Amino acid sequence: MAGFETYQEYQRIEDYDEDSPPGEEDLLIHVPEGRGDPWHHIKNLDNFFTRIYHFHQKNGFACMVLSEVFELVQFLFVVTFTTFLFNCVEYDVLFANRVVNHTGQTLGPLDRNKVTLPDAILPSEQCTERIQGNSWIIFLLIMAAIFWVYRLVKVICNVLSYWEIRQFYKKALKIQMDELCNFTWQEVQGRLIHLQREQPMCVQKRELSELDIYHRILRFKNYTVAMINKSLLPVRLRVPFFGDMIFLTQGLKYNFELILFWGPLSLFQNKWSLHPKYKRAANRQELAKQLSRVILLTGLVNLLLCPFVLVWQVLYAFFSYAEVIKREPGSLGARRWSLYGRLYLRHFNELDHELQGRLGRGYKPAAKYMNAFVSPLLAVFAKNVAFFSGSVLAVLIALTVYDEDVLTVQHILTAITVLGVVITITRSFIPDEHMVWCPEQLLQCVLAHIHYMPDHWKGNANKSETRDEMAQLFQYKAVFILEELLSPIITPFILIFPLRSKSLEIIDFFRNFTVDVAGVGDICSFAQMDIRRHGNPQWMSEGQTEASVYQQAENGKTELSLMHFTIKNPHWQPPQESSVFISHLKEKVHQDAQTGPSPQLLLSEAPLCTSLLSNESATGPDNLLASVLAHPVLTASGLPGRNRRFIPPSSAASAAASVLASLSTSQQPHASRSRSHTLLPSRQHHDGTMYCSDHTMGDSMSASDSRMLSQSYSALASEFASAEMSLHAIYMHEVHQQKTQHASGPFQASVPMRDLSTNSAQGPQIQPAQTVTLVPPTSGRLGGWAEEEEEEQGDEEEINTNPVPDQTSRGSS
């Protein structure tokens, strides 16, 4: 970042006085008369496209409104129930510390001293007196009421906004609400692009591209991903006795976005334009001081609100996780992708459902890799604690079975519960006796899905340092809860001290890496995925990039993001520089495929590979990826192929290149089709043809059958596109390793894959022709993934939508 000072004029942006993004200012758009819809020349297309996206991902109007209403009810419940517990319950009576004597002729001697629930609840008059006598309770209730009314007004505005989007889907996109779940985001996006040609929503551009829509939805997200990539945001802290630790919570991220993007004192003058003064280098020192004061003010406000936010965090965590911890204590030992991990692993121009699907596929191999690290000392301690706890628990359970009156003994239920929790926790530290130690293979499988991995992890997967760094991306759920609870305390100090010291670097970053795109506005230049400006020579862009070390994206993010966006959006036409890079990559793949194993050999060994890798289910894309990852096992072990001849040794890079080259070859005779569909397996006939005509099949089936076939075909397209990107990620990382290790000696082939957490079933069938056709089993379930409750609240506040709840995302790109 120090080099930014000498790199001050990366992209000079002219000042524009218009409210709309600059572009074709004199362009006249003819609007046909008689149309009463409000979707011509939409002023804030960022909010509009974002609401369209969230409407699709959150399953339509009814689900979104219901979520909004229940969020209001949930807040009201937490406040009222907490007030009731603190002021309206007589705990001395509830805990039997005070004797209650019931009077009545029908009550026996034992029943007169028995405590009932109404005995522990104070009368409403006495409860009201307690609340009125506590000024702190009254103050907190007034603050909660003000916030609830604010949320109520916001919900009403959101509902009106949702209704507008609902009408847009029905009237403009011709998608009915009962059919919304049948459309992927790719299909919705295609209709948006087509609608722009007939009914212009953006008057600055005649044509909208897929990248334009992504830029508007992910404008601020791309900036955040770039700042994490360039290590600009202070999320790495040095903690005494613990060393370097990553700390990034929802609250801290919310403050980052408030300061930089959409707050009243942010760097942007509106949703699509950086303030002109931040585009000039002349007054960068003064702007840095101004930003430093804004950060200080925000930090002090956070410090002032810290007690209230902390109380809410504790209460919300208690009501959310207490029952889950009691029912499943091992859930705290489960892992989740951290917020930092989601930003570090995110491609430029990658939507939420695309990221969630990719990380969801990598969850099992990542969990298996992390669970492979066990402490022998801790395992011995855990076994003995589990033995002692289990012995005592067994006796208590036996006594309870013999005589249920044992349960009336004071604290006996508490002892049984605590012992059960202790046993569950200790068992999580006891390793599986059948587990095979294979960290390099597991980490390679993780890389196939997450696409990013630091260079020094290669060959060091068995070291605790690598495991600790992976834990920063893939953290325990207990660590996540603890960080969120500590966030109100730590966030003010991060803002006041580390972030303020980076004020000048932040000003330089936004000036240097902001470009204007006609019809879109100011975006992060990294989001253009421009190889010439931000490519890295070590990532296959040598000779095609002019970027200095400060302009290069780290970890090959520009190159990998370009490949990911191209694969996910096959109809997108990349610019000239990007097309040259893609062509160069294809040439390199075909060149390396000449020395690699034949795709027929790879896929014919798929049944053996899936068995070797302990797969659990059957999908064509999983078998395809497993064949590539497991092939080095067969070659290194000296196992003979199906033709009884020994297979020459090969690496995962050459295997991936062979399959990618075969896929590229299979597309050439069908150039009229979209590239994503050519990756799909054909429905084979008895004559062995690779593809069948969609028109021929459409003539022989009903409309409902055709719709179901289209949905299944779209799901397969998404799965095979993900597999193709995984192959590119493996290949590009292997080539990158070759370049970085070239000076120190010949490149060492990767360690053979021996134990991967992928899915098992019968492998893909192979055609006798030279071109490979992939046929997934019909029983496999493809597409769809469950989103976690991580979606960032800052973006939702910006577009007047709520934080994303747990849901199922349907769209696939």
Helix (H) or strand (E) holding 236: strand 236-239
Which 3 state secondary structure label does DSSP give 336? strand
pLDDT tens column, 634-680: 554 444 444 444 445 456 777 788 778 777 655 444 333 344 333 34
* Euclidean distance between CA atoms 169 and 55, whole angstroms: 9
Of 42-56, 252-266, 359-373, 684-698, which range is least confident?
684-698
Residue 35's pLDDT is 47
Q: Hunting for tokens 């008689």 — which residue is that?
A: 34
DSSP 744: T
Which 3 state secondary structure label does DSSP give 8? coil
Q: What is the pTM of this model?
A: 0.80
Helix (H) or strand (E) holding 269: strand 268-270
* Euclidean distance between CA atoms 313 and 355, whole angstroms: 27
209 phi and psi angles, rounded to 5 deg: -105, 170
How many CB atoms neighbour CB 478 within 10 A? 15
* Euclidean distance between CA atoms 318 and 629, whole angstroms: 43
Mean pLDDT confidence for 28-56 = 73
* Euclidean distance between CA atoms 44 and 21, whole angstroms: 10
Which distant-in-sequence residues (6+ apart) come within 8 Å of 745 by Cβ? none
Amino acid (one-letter) located at 246: I
Could you please report the per-residue DSSP string of 448-511?
HHH----GGGTT-TTSHHHHHHHHHHEEEHHHHHHHHHHHHHHHHHHIIIIIHHTHHHHHHHHH
Residue 383's pLDDT is 92
**Distance from chain centroid for Cα 197:** 33
Name the token pair of 25. 């200012």
* Euclidean distance between CA atoms 247 and 449, whole angstroms: 24
Name the token pair of 331. 């859930």
Residue 746's pLDDT is 45
Residue 154's pLDDT is 95
* Euclidean distance between CA atoms 52 and 39, whole angstroms: 13
Distances (CA, A) of 385 to 330, 391, 397: 16, 10, 18
Whether the pLDDT of residue 565 is over 90: the answer is yes
Q: Which residues pair with 268 in a beta bridge?
A: 274
pLDDT tens column, 708-730: 555 566 667 778 888 889 999 99
Which 3 state secondary structure label does DSSP give 807? strand
Residue 410's pLDDT is 79
Residue 500's pLDDT is 95
Name the token pair of 197. 């040609």
Name the token pair of 184. 């992927």
**β pairing state of 514-517 and 521-524:** antiparallel
Is pLDDT larger for residue 324 or for residue 531? 531
Distances (CA, A) of 490 to 254, 296, 811: 14, 14, 37
Helix (H) or strand (E) holding 657: helix 652-667
Residue 404's pLDDT is 82
Residue 24's pLDDT is 38
Interhelix angle 363-371/439-450, nearest 10 degrees:
150
Whether the pLDDT of residue 30 is over 60: the answer is no
| CA-atom Rg of the chain in angstroms | 30
pLDDT tens column, 207-239: 889 999 999 999 999 999 999 999 999 999 988
Is pLDDT larger for residue 143 or for residue 788? 143
pLDDT tens column, 73-95: 999 999 999 999 999 998 888 88
Residue 653's pLDDT is 77
Residue 459's pLDDT is 87
Distances (CA, A) of 668 to 495, 569, 661, 662, 671: 55, 18, 11, 10, 5
pLDDT tens column, 238-250: 888 888 899 999 9
Residue 102's pLDDT is 61
Whether the Cβ atoms of residue 180 and residue 59 lie closer than 8 Å to each other: yes
Which 3 state secondary structure label does DSSP give 436? coil
Of 229-238, 558-567, 576-585, 597-606, which range is least confident?
597-606
pLDDT tens column, 413-468: 889 988 988 888 888 888 877 777 778 888 988 999 999 999 999 889 999 899 99
How many CB atoms neighbour CB 734 within 10 A? 23
Amino acid (one-letter) located at 432: D
Q: Which residues pair with 125 in a beta bridge?
A: none
Residue 228's pLDDT is 97
Of 46-60, 258-272, 367-381, 549-563, which range is least confident?
367-381
* Euclidean distance between CA atoms 588 and 582, whole angstroms: 10
Residue 719's pLDDT is 80
Amino acid (one-letter) located at 727: L
* Euclidean distance between CA atoms 77 and 672, whole angstroms: 58
Residue 285's pLDDT is 95
24 half-sphere exposure, CB direction, 13 A CA radius = 9
Name the token pair of 727. 């192959």
b/e code 400-419 from CB counts within 10 Å (16+ = b): beeeeebeeeeeeeeebeeb
Could you please report the per-residue DSSP string of 126-145?
HHHHHHHT-HHHHHHHHHHH
pLDDT band at 172 (very low <50, low <70, confident <90, very high): very high
763 phi and psi angles, rounded to 5 deg: -75, 170
Amino acid (one-letter) located at 435: M
How far from each other are the two terminal CA atoms of the chain, in whole angstroms?
A: 35
Helix (H) or strand (E) holding 514: strand 514-517
Residue 505's pLDDT is 96
Is pLDDT larger for residue 708 or for residue 319? 319
Which 3 state secondary structure label does DSSP give 253? helix
Mean pLDDT confidence for 591-614 = 62
Helix (H) or strand (E) holding 238: strand 236-239
* Euclidean distance between CA atoms 8 and 680, whole angstroms: 47
Percentage of the chain lying above the pLDDT 70 cut: 71
Angle subtended at Cα 404 by Cα 402 and Cα 405, rounded to the nearest 5 degrees: 115
Is pLDDT larger for residue 813 or for residue 65? 65
Residue 600's pLDDT is 64
Whether the pLDDT of residue 393 is over 60: the answer is yes
Is pLDDT larger for residue 762 or for residue 306? 306
Mean pLDDT confidence for 572-587 = 90
User: Mean of the per-residue pLDDT values for the chain?
Assistant: 77
b/e code 238-248 from CB counts within 10 Å (16+ = b): eeeeeeeebbb
Helix (H) or strand (E) holding 789: none
Is pLDDT larger for residue 626 or for residue 590? 590
Q: Which of 728, 712, 605, 713 is nearest to 663 (CA)?
A: 728
Whether the Cβ atoms of residue 640 and residue 742 lie closer than 8 Å to each other: no
Most confident of 29-43, 213-227, 538-552: 213-227
Whether the Cβ atoms of residue 583 and residue 574 lie closer than 8 Å to each other: no
Most confident of 20-24, 215-219, 774-778: 215-219
Mean pLDDT confidence for 511-517 = 94
